[in-house]
A and B are shown apart, each in its own frame.
Chain A
Amino acid sequence: MSAVWAAVLLVGAGSYLLRAAPFLLAHRLVVPDRMAGVLRDAGIAALAALLATSVARVGVQSAGAERAVVLLALLSAAVAGLAGRSVHAVLLVGGAVYVVGSMAATAL
């Protein structure tokens, strides 16, 4: 067996165990509300960390007007999301700002 197969199978099996353990024990274990809140907070923070590092990557990989346009698009999407808009609306706002901003940056 190649190292790639071994790694994929081991990480895949471990990942499924991480995913499945709470699901398969759910009917036996009742997670207290307080613990459920802590897990939810931890999940939100994990997503925020992934978001922050992906935004930081934008700062490194792009420059000048391109970087400003991407950040403006992300900011617009964040405002729409914080306003409680739907998934479609948030993506549409961010995408539209990016397209219009890129066209403007190219024209200038």
Chain B
Amino acid sequence: MTAPSLVLPSRAFLDGASAMAALLVGLVPFGLIVGMAAGASDAPVAAVAGTWLIYSGSAHLAVLGGLSAGEGLLAVVAAGLSVNVRLLAYSATLSARLRHETTRFRALAAALVVDPLWALVTARAPADGVRRYYLGAGLVLWFGWAAAVGTGAVLGQHAALAQAAAVGVPLCMVTLVAPHARSRRGAACVGAGAAVGLLSAGLPAGTGVLASMVAGALAGAVVTALVRRAA
């Protein structure tokens, strides 16, 4: 009689899951806040369904905020999609690293794309284990985020959560951004993106991030050209 084989997750899968689980601790307060906004909506089931369908806290909040402010459907949809346009750049970068996977896997992988996953995979995934690192990190965030938003919708308003999110969210963002700023080109992108993000904070939802992306791409191109010229 042969013993049943035990299939263990690979090292890369566990590394991705572990890194994302650590980040999730900081992101949970933000998820709870999104959940509170969803729970306070006119149609809470639909609002909570946005957790999986929109799968981006900032776009989800933009949609819920717009609806609760009485904005029209077109304006709300435009705002939500503007906030999420950055996902196109994330997917374009990630898809190159998963080009050789099956269509079914790529269709699933696309649904998981969001800021923390992109930042972790591009900065920390091992070259020989991208698929598994991606799945480990992506699935932990998918289920963890959904749990946080669902819990927030049930719990309702809590002032302490806003304080926790005020620390947890920027701390997670620092963790994601810092590794990219270790090169001159990355540092220029971070500087340009942050400066334009601050200057355009008062613009309609999503516009500032788009302007920052353009500024970051330009800053990266300028630094690359300067480095080439110096060489």
Interface on A for B, CB 8 Å cutoff?
2-16, 18-27, 31, 36-58, 61-62, 70, 73-74, 77-78, 80-82, 84, 86-88, 90-91, 94-95, 98
- Whether the Cβ atoms of A26 and B175 lie closer than 8 Å is no
Grouping DSSP codes into helix (H, G, I), strand (E, B) and loop, the B interface class, with mixed when no group exceeds half, is: helix
A13 to B53, CA, bound (A): 7
Q: Assess whether B73 is interfacial by the CB under 8 Å rule.
A: yes
B220 to chain A, nearest CB (A): 3
If A4-B47, A54-B170 touch, whether A81 touches B54 (CB-CB below 8 Å) is no
Collect the chain A residues with CB atoms within 8 Å of residue B111's CB.
16, 19-20
- Whether the Cβ atoms of B92 and A39 lie closer than 8 Å is yes
Q: Assess whether B147 is interfacial by the CB under 8 Å rule.
A: no
- Most B CB contacts (10 A, CB to CB) among A12, A39, A77 go to A12
- Whether the Cβ atoms of B173 and A10 lie closer than 8 Å is no
A36 to B224, CA, bound (A): 13
A44 to B122, CA, bound (A): 10
- Whether the Cβ atoms of B19 and A87 lie closer than 8 Å is yes
A74 to chain B, nearest CB (A): 5
- Whether the Cβ atoms of B167 and A45 lie closer than 8 Å is no
Q: Assess whether B217 is interfacial by the CB under 8 Å rule.
A: yes
- Whether the Cβ atoms of B194 and A46 lie closer than 8 Å is no
Collect the chain B residues with CB atoms within 8 Å of residue A73's CB.
167, 171
- Whether the Cβ atoms of A48 and B193 lie closer than 8 Å is yes
- Most B CB contacts (10 A, CB to CB) among A15, A21, A36 go to A15
- Whether the Cβ atoms of A46 and B193 lie closer than 8 Å is yes
Closest to B70 in A: A3
- Whether the Cβ atoms of B182 and A82 lie closer than 8 Å is yes
